Amino acid sequence: MLYGTLFPSRLLLGTAQYPSPVVLRQAVEISEPSFLTVSLRRQAAGHNEIGGQAFWDLLSTLKIPFLPNTAGCHTPEEVWTTAQMAREVFETPWIKLELIGDDYTLQPDTLQMVGVAERLLRDGFNVLPYCTEDLVLCRRLVDIGCEAIMPWAAPIGTGRGALNPYALRLLRERLTVPMLIDAGIGKPSHACEVMEWGFDGVLLNTAVAKAADPTRLAAAFKKAIEAGREAFLGGAMIPRETAEASTPVVGTPFWHHGAP
Amino acid sequence: MEITINQKPFKLPQGASINEAIEAFGAQPPFAIALNLTFVHRQRYGETFLSQGDALEIVQPVAGG
């Protein structure tokens, strides 16, 4: 449930970097994501990217809600303008707020994102902020009205899985809003792990698009996310320091007092 | 007057509207526009007039993560 809307899947899928539009379509059809992330770029540029009318035609046939991003924005003003353009083009109030604070790590600008998130919320956007696992930042985003947040697992495109499990698990314990892990997931086991911790969903792109077989990885991620969610709801056991036999000990044949 | 559209120079008649700039550029829908980093709603293209040195951005949907 995000901003009052119930979604059928806990997977959100990016549309970039696939080997071909056909493979993108296959990955979408097999993983059945709740959102497809999309972006905006200058019309004359982007010939290395899937874009323009052909991309629009493909998107239109997939019938999955769009989640436009503000990727590449470095100032709150750029985010504000890009979000408004995205709302007009994609005809949606949803926006993945990306405000980059460091080009090397693509770390979000944690000092300026709260202000622009608040401005977008006031203007009617459903803001999904891409943020770090910083508890105070995430709490501020919730305080100003974000009904869901998207902390990173690791820097975008690294595929390293959760680099700071302690902080992410603490964040999950302290905040009750829906939280989607965005960025840094590389393998289905990474996605399963964060879902086991109680996160509400996972946003993927590179991990699927750059796999040797994106369609197969898309299917694997779907299963991993579902498995992790079930494990969280089922209440996985607490690890123990010492062995404890699972087979009953009482009645063991040949057993007797004084055995080593 | 000279303006830029997506950072490339274009010469337009003095006081041209955004509609004229779109035509000069040959923009293909769907697209959205920002003038000097301010979003312009599509309903206002005909009534928004350009000045020397203005910077127009015309963007289209692309793949994103």
User: B30-59 pLDDT, tens per residue?
Assistant: 999 999 999 999 999 999 999 999 999 999
Interatomic CA distance for residues A192 and A229, integer angstroms: 8
Contact list in A for residue B38 (CB cut-off 8 A) is: 81
Instruction: Look up residue A205 and give its DSSP letter.
Output: S
Interatomic CA distance for residues A19 and A213, integer angstroms: 10
pLDDT digits (tens, 9 = 90+) for A187-227: 999 999 999 999 999 999 999 999 999 999 999 999 999 99
Identify whether B65 is part of a domain. Answer: no
A259 compared with A25, residue with greater pLDDT:
A25
* Nearest Cα residue in chain A from B56: A42
pLDDT digits (tens, 9 = 90+) for A61-83: 999 999 999 999 999 999 999 99
pLDDT at A258: 72
- Alpha helix stretches (DSSP H) within chain A: 21-31, 52-62, 76-90, 113-122, 135-143, 165-174, 188-196, 206-209, 214-234
pLDDT at A169: 97
Interatomic CA distance for residues A139 and A171, integer angstroms: 9
- Domain containing B7: what range? 2-59
Integer-rounded Cα Rg, in Å, for chain A is 21
pLDDT at A66: 97
* pLDDT confidence bin for A47, thresholds 50/70/90: very low
Q: How many domains does chain B have?
A: 1
pLDDT at A45: 42
Torsion of CA B32, B34, B38, B42, to 10 degrees: -40
A249 compared with A156, residue with greater pLDDT:
A156
Contact list in A for residue B58 (CB cut-off 8 A) is: 42-43
Q: Which residues numbered 23-42 in A keep a CB inside 8 Å of some CB on B?
A: 24, 37-42
Do A189 and A224 touch, CB atoms closer than 8 A?
Answer: yes
pLDDT digits (tens, 9 = 90+) for A84-141: 999 999 999 999 999 999 999 999 999 999 999 999 999 999 999 999 999 999 999 9
* Nearest Cα residue in chain A from B61: A40
Angle at A43 between CA A40 and CA A47, to 5 degrees: 90
Q: A11-234 sits in which CATH class? A: alpha beta
Quote the percentage of chain A above a pLDDT of 90.
87
* pLDDT confidence bin for A259, thresholds 50/70/90: low
Interatomic CA distance for residues A243 and A212, integer angstroms: 40
pLDDT at A173: 96
Interatomic CA distance for residues B8 and B22, integer angstroms: 13
Average pLDDT, chain A: 94
pLDDT at A257: 72
Interatomic CA distance for residues A99 and A42, integer angstroms: 18
Nearest Cβ partner of B37 from A44, A69, A77? Answer: A77
For the segment A141-155, the average pLDDT, to the nearest whole number, is: 98
Contacting residues for A165 by C-beta, under 8 A, at least 6 apart: A197
Torsion of CA A171, A177, A180, A182, to 10 degrees: -60
Identify whether B23 is part of a domain. Answer: yes
* pLDDT confidence bin for A48, thresholds 50/70/90: very low
b/e per residue B35-48 (b: at least 16 CB within 10 A): beeebbeeeebeeb
Contact list in B for residue A89 (CB cut-off 8 A) is: 30-32, 59-61
pLDDT at A46: 39
The CATH number of whichever domain residue B40 belongs to comes to 3.10.20.30
Instruction: Specify whether A96 is catalytic.
Output: yes
pLDDT at A51: 63
Identify whether B64 is part of a domain. Answer: no
